[in-house]
Homo-oligomer: A and B are copies of this chain.
Amino acid sequence: MKIPLYKKLHSILREHIMTGLYKEGDLLPSENELCVTHNVTRPTVRQALNELVREGYINKHHGKGSIVAIPSKEAGILSLQGTSSAIGKELQTKIITKPYIAKWDDPFIFELSKDERESGCIKMERIRLINDVPVFYETTFLPNMNLSGFCQRNFENKSLFKILSKYYGIEIRGGRQRLRAITAQGTIAKYLQIKKNKPILHLERKMVTSKTNFSFYCSLYCNTNHYTLSGDF
C-alpha cells in the first residue's frame, strides 16, 4: 500500500507524542530539522504538522516553533463524571452479551446506509460500574465490515475506543447524539439495580470514524443519581 510521506511523518510524530518521547510543553524539532531527519521537504513537513495542529497535538508559534500539547480528547462526546467523589479508580466494565453477529433492528435508531444494512451488525451489551454500582447499561452496534476477530476479543474492562484505534486503526471523528429522560423499566431497572420508575437518561449516539463510511452506534441508559453525563464542546 502507498501511504503519502506527510501521512507517514504525521503518524510518526503523533506516535512520539503519545508515547511521551515529546512531552507536553516540549519544543518539537524545527521544520527544517524534520526535513533533514526524515528526508522530505518543508511543504511535506508542514502538511504533517498542520494535521497535528488540527488534532490538537501541537500548537505552532510564529518565529518560535511547535509546542507539544495534550489534545482535549472526545470533545463534545458526553462522558461520565463524578459529582463529588474521586472518579477513575473504580471503573469496571462488565460484559452482558459478548459481541455477536445479528441483524440490524428495523427501524434502527439512526438511518443506515445500504452498505451498512447489507453487511449486518455486530451487537454487544455492557454495563459500566463505579465502585461496584452500575451506572451505564450500553448496547453497541457496529457494522460487520473488516473487523476480523472482533467477536473473539476480550472487552472486559477494556475501552472499545482504544481497541478500535489500536487494532483496526479506527479513530472517532465526530457524530451525533440524542438525549431523553425516561423512567427505568424491566430489564433496564434490573441491570442498573434501581427501582422501577426512577428517572434515567437515555442517550443514542452515532460515531463517525476516520475510516470512510464506517460509523458505529450505541444506545446507553445512565443512572444519573450519583454521576452526571458531561462533556466539553
Residues of chain B contacted by A200 (CB below 8 angstroms): 181, 199
A→B interface (CB under 8 Å): 43, 54, 75-78, 81, 174-183, 197, 199-201, 222, 224, 228-233
B233 and A75 contacting across the interface, CB-CB below 8 Å: yes
A183 and B199 contacting across the interface, CB-CB below 8 Å: yes
A176 and B54 contacting across the interface, CB-CB below 8 Å: no
A228 to B230, CA, bound (A): 17
A182 to B176, CA, bound (A): 23
Give which listed residue, B78, B174, B233, contacts A77 with CB less than 8 A.
B233
**Smallest CB–CB gap between A151 and chain B, Å?**
28
**Smallest CB–CB gap between A166 and chain B, Å?**
22
A179 and B77 contacting across the interface, CB-CB below 8 Å: no
A228 and B179 contacting across the interface, CB-CB below 8 Å: yes
B230 and A174 contacting across the interface, CB-CB below 8 Å: no
